[in-house]
Amino acid sequence: MRLPHWLQRLPTWPRPLPGGVRFAVVTADPRGWRWAARGRVHCVADAASVQADYFVFHAPGTTPRSDCLHALAAAIDRHPDAVFLFGDVIGRDGTVWHKPGWSPALLLAQPYAADLFAVHRDTLAGLEPTGAPDALAAYDLALRATTRGGRVVHIPQILATTPSSARLQPGHADASARTAAALGLLATVTPHPDAPVLRVAVRPRTRAAITVIVPTRDRLDLLGPCIDDVLGRRGGHDVRVLIIDNGSVDPATLAAFARWRETGVVDVLRDERPFDYAALMNAAVASASTPLVLLLNNDTRVRNADWLDQLAGWLELPDVDAVGAKLYQGDGTIQHAGVVLGIGGIAAHGHRGFAAGHAGYHGLLHSVRDVSAVTAACLLTRRDAWLRVGGMKPSLGIAYNDVDYCLELRSRGSRIVWTPLAELDHLEGASRGHDHSADERLERETRFLRGRWGAALTADPFYNPNLSLSHVDYRPR
């Protein structure tokens, strides 16, 4: 068999690279997945009998760059416990895919780590690709390999050239659904109608009781529709609503409180201290008795009936402790699709201002994924996780308390997930407007956050370091 010209140029096993790591580069052939060693072509079924440390797979049509193995070897030298590695790619039309770091949720939504990847020989054992040697088989293998446990490493460097137009086969949804089920998710996976990604719709097996916590001070014009949405779109969940009344005086608001109390599922906690969001939320969560709590701004409106399922379903995963929603601004553009650390010096909402139906950077606006933080305008979390980390920090009464909370969870091994399938409108700032006296407080809180998290604020693992820290549209630096 004649090897592809690029494979002839690559230093393949048994010739070691820097650090001594040895690779077998696997390529697709009509007869199956094959690799070269000692001038001979082998099938993947022989993998267990050779001494290569890692097997490098690439989807058909993807061409590894000549420095691909050296980049992989350097990453393995830095992370000797890596069992799966992948990197960035460039399309033949010149479009670069500067990928996020390792996100198990994102791999369920799209084969972003499956165009070229390296798998440790021990992880590969018993996981030979199934089916025809095509992009679907590569995706299926990547899914099964990464669910075996161990460190997954992303290399923010272009390792390969790929076909310019991304396509999904019908079997991609099936492969994702099988993996979701193996992880413990009750998920329905279907192709997205407007982008080459997958819609991963989830729901919990058992709907745990949720306390929806809504802070307000009057503004019945905002609060009324918000509470009506929550009560009208419970979707079979045991929902209790806890309104935090931060000093309301409007008779109409107080009368509405009395009416809602009569439903038996709404309570009102009066707290007249000067507005301090962190303190209000800490007191509210402490008074709640349900396993789950949902922080919800009074200026939000729910768009879809199954929003609570789409949030709570991700908490079926024991390592996920907070889930955020897709929020739209008053003009219908994107307001929140996950928090990106480092933009503007601290953090910002990626894709902010994008049109409602836009797929975002390489489909990210349509893809469930891990993120560093989500906004507390709509944040579902476990009550015991909140209490375990001490809730929101008193030093962050207004700004960045949600970012800090999520970072604290992540520092303890938890994951934060953002889903595009829980959708709400958010009239950001409508309930309180701009308080100029808070500007000095904002500066204090910014200094506190920087002092607490330092370099972590400029190294978001889910935002590629080759992308801009001055803009939210995922443009290159």
CA distance linking residue 107 with residue 110, whole number of Å: 5
User: pLDDT averaged over the chain?
Assistant: 91
Same domain, residue pair 194 and 275: no
CA distance linking residue 89 with residue 122, whole number of Å: 26
Name, in order, each residue with C-beta under 8 angstroms of 18's C-beta and a sequence gap of 6 or more.
Answer: 70, 73, 74, 77
Instruction: For residue 32, give the CATH number of its domain.
Output: 3.90.550.10
Residue 440 lies in a domain: yes
Q: What is the pLDDT of residues 174-229, one digit of tens each?
A: 999 999 999 999 999 999 999 999 999 999 999 999 999 999 999 999 999 999 99
Residue 393 lies in a domain: yes
Question: Does residue 36 have a pLDDT over 70?
Answer: no
Average pLDDT over residues 346-359: 97
Residue 84 lies in a domain: yes
Q: What is the pLDDT of residues 230-283, one digit of tens each?
A: 999 999 999 999 999 999 999 999 999 999 999 999 999 999 999 999 999 999
The two tokens of residue 48 are 């267990």
CA distance linking residue 415 with residue 406, whole number of Å: 9
Instruction: For residue 345, give the CATH number of its domain.
Output: 3.90.550.60
Average pLDDT over residues 283-295: 98
Same domain, residue pair 149 and 216: no
Residue 289 vs residues 284, 314, 417: alpha-carbon distances, Å: 10, 21, 24
Same domain, residue pair 87 and 229: no
Q: Which domain holds residue 24?
A: 5-199
Residue 463 lies in a domain: no
Q: How many domains does the chain have?
A: 2
Residue 465 lies in a domain: no
Same domain, residue pair 214 and 285: yes
Supply the Cα-derived Rg of the chain in whole angstroms.
24
Burial (CB < 10 A; 0-12, 13-18, 19+), residue 132, is middle
Residue 471 lies in a domain: no
Residue 76 lies in a domain: yes
Q: What is the residue whose two structure tokens read 């659904």? A: 177
The size of the chain, in residues, is 477
Q: What is the pTM of this model?
A: 0.94
Q: What is the pLDDT of residues 97-155, one digit of tens each?
A: 999 999 999 999 999 999 999 999 999 888 878 878 899 999 999 999 999 999 999 99
Single-letter code of the amino acid located at 49: S
Name, in order, each residue with C-beta under 8 angstroms of 62's C-beta and a sequence gap of 6 or more.
Answer: 89, 115, 116, 160, 161, 162, 163
Same domain, residue pair 390 and 340: yes
